Structure 1
Amino acid sequence: MTKGQPVPDTTAASRHTRQREVIAQVLSAAEGPLTAPELLSRAQLRLPGLGSATVYRTLKLLQEQGEALAVNLDGEPRYEASGRGHHHHFSCRSCGRVFSIQSCPVALPSGTVYPGGFVVEEHEVTLYGRCPQCASTTAP
C-alpha cells in the first residue's frame, strides 16, 4: 500500500461474506419470522458447516444495518427481513411454525385515542390456530 491511499475497511460490517449472504437469503425467503435455530438449520442446507455463533453475529449485524428485524412472539425472539411493510403473524399451535400475514385484522389507525387518553402509535397482532397444512390433516 502506498502512502496517501485509504486503508481498506475490514470490519465485519463492510464485508459481504457468503455466510451473511446465505443468512439474508434464508430470511428473505421465509414465510414468516424464524428462530435462530430454524434459521441455522435452513442456512446449513445451503452452507454446510455454518455455525450458530456466525448466525447470531450476523443477525445482530443485519439488525444494526436495518436489514433484519427481531420479533418477540411468545417470549421467543424470531427474525425476519425488514422492508415487508405493515403485517402481522399467525402462529400454528400444531406445527409451531409462524407465518406472516399481509392483511390487517384490526382497523386501527395511528393516532386513535382510547378512553383514558391512550394514543395508538402502532400495533402488533399475532393470531393463533392451525396453519392450512395442519388444519387439513387434523380434526378440530
Structure 2
Amino acid sequence: MSTARQTRQREVIVQVLQQAEGPLSAPELLARAQVTLPGLGTATVYRTLKLMQEQGEAHAVHLDGEPMYESSGRGHHHHFSCNGCGRVFSLHSCPVALPRGTVYPGGFVVEDHEVTLYGRCPQCAAQQAQAPAPGVTAG
C-alpha cells in the first residue's frame, strides 16, 4: 500500500470525525468514510483510529460499553444519546457545576467528569409527537 493512499485514507477519516455532530462508532465512521473512499476497509479504520489516539488527535468515548470516537481538542463537552435513532450528539453546555478538585464524601477527588444524557433527538421527538398514541385508532 502506498504512502499517498494511506495519507488519503487518514485525511478522509479525520475529515469524517471533524464533521460529525458527535462521536461515531468505528462502523459508523467506516460507512461515512466509504462515501468518499469506497475501498476503505475496516482494518484501516481501526489502525488509523489507534494511531490518532496515540498521537492525541482523537479519543474514545465509552457509551453503554461501546467505544465511539471523536476528534480531540473540542473542549469540555458532554453527550446526548438518542433512544430513537441511536445517534450520539455533542452538547457544548455543561449541565453539572463540578469543578476539578471537588472532594466527595469518602475522599473521592474529582479530576474530570463526563455526562451522557439519554432521550430523543429533535427529529425523533417530532416523529414521536406526530405518531398516534398506542391503542388509539384514527377515525
TM range (shorter): 0.7 to 0.9
Partners in 2 of 1:44 and 1:117 — Cα distance?
Answer: 48
* 1:16 positional shift: 6.3
In structure 2, the residue matched to 1:17 is 7
Deviations 1:58-113 (CA, angstroms, capped at 9, x unpaired): 00111111100011110000000000010000000000000000100000001111
In structure 1, the residue matched to 2:137 is none
Matches within 5 A, 1:1-140: 17-139=7-129
TM (norm. structure 2) is: 0.88
Structure 2: gaps spanning 5 or more residues? 134-139
Number of matched pairs: 127
Could you list the runs of 4 or more consecutive aligned residues of structure 1 that deviate by over 2 angstroms after TM superposition?
Answer: none
Partners in 2 of 1:138 and 1:40 — Cα distance?
Answer: 29
Partners in 2 of 1:56 and 1:116 — Cα distance?
Answer: 39
RMSD over equivalenced CA pairs, Å: 1.5
Deviations 1:14-42 (CA, angstroms, capped at 9, x unpaired): x9610000000000000000000000000
Structure 1: gaps spanning 5 or more residues? 1-11
TM (norm. structure 1) is: 0.87
